[in-house]
Structure 1
């Protein structure tokens, strides 16, 4: 694959979590979160993006979100449970993405706010259609995702280097 081919990054916030008496890392999804995770998976499938790699936080709610969403995809990408995605800042997430091998073309990151939303805010230098306006109106609620595109190697990924192609959030 040539590094000139566009790459896709899907930034996916975990679905709505419950608040039982467990550590933050072990919080499970709420009933609504389980429903929204599956719907988000169907919306990802509808996007037509063939994902090569999933980087998922090790937190229970992100693992559960991904387990439900990936069942809706036509192909299951390789999944890596990455501790550095849990509670990561946008800069820390960029550092993780900068380490990806160039043969990974389309990657999804399943993580947490404020890092995922912050990354969705700073990576795009451009947007298609009304995607940025829609993301600005809705914010980045639980189970939302943004689809970004860029040219170049993963090492070249930095703020402003991508185009926001689309975003989706469940309805309240």
Structure 2
């Protein structure tokens, strides 16, 4: 593909997790999370984005979220379980994106807050429609996702370089 073609990043926060007596990395999804993850997957399928690559945190709740959501997609992208996504700051997530191969056009990252909301806000230099307003109103709740678009090679992705084109959270009608 040409680096002039738009690329998309879907930033997907894991679904609602339970709080059992386990370390944070091992926390599983709660019942609500097991219901919301496939709904998010169906909404992502409806968006028409054909994902080339999924970067998933190694945490139990993100792996479970992705396992449930990806079943709703028309095709399953290659999935890489990336330790650096767990507890990543916006800058650390951008560094991971900067390493992506230019053959990958549309990428999803399944991660955590505050990194998910932070990287979305840092990368979005502009927004389409009411996506930014909906994100600001709802916050990056569990099972929500944002879609960012930009043009250029992955290594050139930097703060403000993308446009927020969509935001969805459970309960959203869009």
Q: Which residue of 1 aligns with 2:141?
A: 141
State how 1:93-112 maps to structure 2 within 5 Å: 93-112=93-112
> Secondary structure of 1:17's match?
coil
> Secondary structure of 1:146's match?
strand
Q: CA deviation at 1:87?
A: 0.3
Q: Which residue of 2 aligns with 1:12?
A: 12
Gap regions ≥5 residues in structure 1 = none
The 1-side partners of 2:100 and 2:45 are apart by 23
The 4+ residue runs of structure 1 with deviation greater than 2 A are none
Q: Which residue of 1 aligns with 2:170?
A: 170
> Secondary structure of 1:74's match?
coil
Question: Alignment RMSD, CA only?
Answer: 0.8
> Secondary structure of 1:136's match?
helix
The 2-side partners of 1:13 and 1:98 are apart by 20
Q: CA deviation at 1:171?
A: 2.3
The 1-side partners of 2:160 and 2:126 are apart by 7
The 1-side partners of 2:100 and 2:136 are apart by 29
Does 1:25 pair with 2:47? no
The 2-side partners of 1:140 and 1:84 are apart by 20
Q: Which residue of 1 aligns with 2:80?
A: 80
The 1-side partners of 2:138 and 2:20 are apart by 27
> Secondary structure of 2:101's match?
coil
Q: Deviations over 1:137-171 (max 9, x none)?
A: 11100000000100000001011000000000012
Q: CA deviation at 1:128?
A: 0.6
Q: CA deviation at 1:119?
A: 0.5
The 2-side partners of 1:164 and 1:71 are apart by 25
Q: CA deviation at 1:88?
A: 0.3
The 2-side partners of 1:46 and 1:35 are apart by 18
> Secondary structure of 1:49's match?
coil
The 2-side partners of 1:135 and 1:122 are apart by 13
Q: Give the aligned length.
A: 172
> Secondary structure of 1:3's match?
coil
Q: CA deviation at 1:81?
A: 0.0
